[in-house]
Amino acid sequence: MAEPAQPEGGTDRVRWLDDWEQAVWRHLLSVESCLRERLDGDLRVAHGLSLGDYEVLVQLSEGDPGGLRMSDLAQRLLLSRSGLTRRVDGLVKEGLVERRACPADGRGSMARLTETGATRLRDAAPTHVAGVRRYLIDPLGDLHELAEGLNRVESALTHDVT
Is residue 32 predicted with pLDDT exceeding 70? Answer: yes
DSSP structure string for 4-68: PPPPTT-STT-----HHHHHHHHHHHHHHHHHHHHHHHHHHHHHS--HHHHHHHHHHHHS-TT-E
Nearest partner of 48 among 81, 113, 95, 100, judged by Cα: 95
Is residue 35 predicted with pLDDT exceeding 70? Answer: yes
Higher pLDDT, 158 or 114: 114
What's this model's pTM, rounded to 2 decimal places? 0.84
Tell me, what's the pLDDT at 104?
A: 79
Q: What phi and psi, each to the nearest 5 degrees, are found at residue 95?
A: 80, 15
Higher pLDDT, 75 or 11: 75
Q: What phi and psi, each to the nearest 5 degrees, are found at residue 11?
A: -115, 5
DSSP state of 134: I
Q: What are the chain's domains? A: 30-157 (1.10.10.10)
Structure confidence by residue, pLDDT tens digits, 89-146? 999 999 999 999 888 777 789 999 999 999 999 999 999 999 999 999 999 988 999 9
